[in-house]
Amino acid sequence: MRPLPFLVWLLSFAAMRPLAAQWYVGLEASTNHYGGSAHDTSGSHVTAEGRPGNGATVGLQLGRRWHRLGVALRASYANAGFSVSGSGITVTDKTTGRLFEFSTLVSTRVGGIGSSGAVRAELGPALHLWDFSGEIRSRVGGLAAAVYEWPIAKRFTGAVRLEGMLSPSWFDAADVPPEFERRVTWRYGVGLGLGYRL
């Protein structure tokens, strides 16, 4: 290939790429269920498990997409609380256990539903800041999600999100009795979102 035509093609392609990309901002509300964190291995406690409490989360996301691929930054907040459970009973203390989460997500379109709906897969790391009795527990975990998006009107889109998360136990060793074993903290949730294309 001669250098001049190749250079013209390369510059034209580079100029078109920003036009194909688009920024968007999104607001999301979800409900989550947590598990793991700490478990009684002796069988001597009525409350055999301690974990973050379940509940609602609100999040804000800023992202950019190029055709099938995308990247986004997301910040979310939840008053998760602290739950203990055993013998079929769960008690949650909402005076502690506030959660701030910051994540970076890489996404790709994996399919579609109908003429305009898109199914996307997302994956990325997340920083969890869990305020437990006035002390911040910081953990780095991983997120994975499947998202279905559809156009609502002009620049607005709707989304349904199924998400899972794994991270090291959110408890420190001093937080739990000796007979309790710290375990991986996990979460699954379902969310609804509203996006706006900038």
Cα dist. 63→41, 84, 118, 187, 189 in Å? Answer: 43, 37, 16, 23, 21
For range 165-184, the mean pLDDT: 88
Domain assignment present for residue 15? The answer is no
pLDDT, residue 14, reads 47
Q: Residue 144 maps to which CATH number?
A: 2.40.160.20
Domain assignment present for residue 4? The answer is no
For range 134-149, the mean pLDDT: 94
Domain assignment present for residue 110? The answer is yes
Domain assignment present for residue 150? The answer is yes
Q: How many domains does the chain have?
A: 1
pTM reported for the whole predicted model: 0.82
Domain that holds residue 36: 21-197
pLDDT, residue 152, reads 93
Q: What is the dihedral of CA 144, 135, 36, 83, to 10 degrees?
A: -110
pLDDT, residue 15, reads 45
Model pLDDT for residues 59-76, shown as the tens digit of each residue: 999 999 998 899 999 999
Model pLDDT for residues 22-61, shown as the tens digit of each residue: 999 999 999 999 998 888 887 766 667 888 998 899 999 9
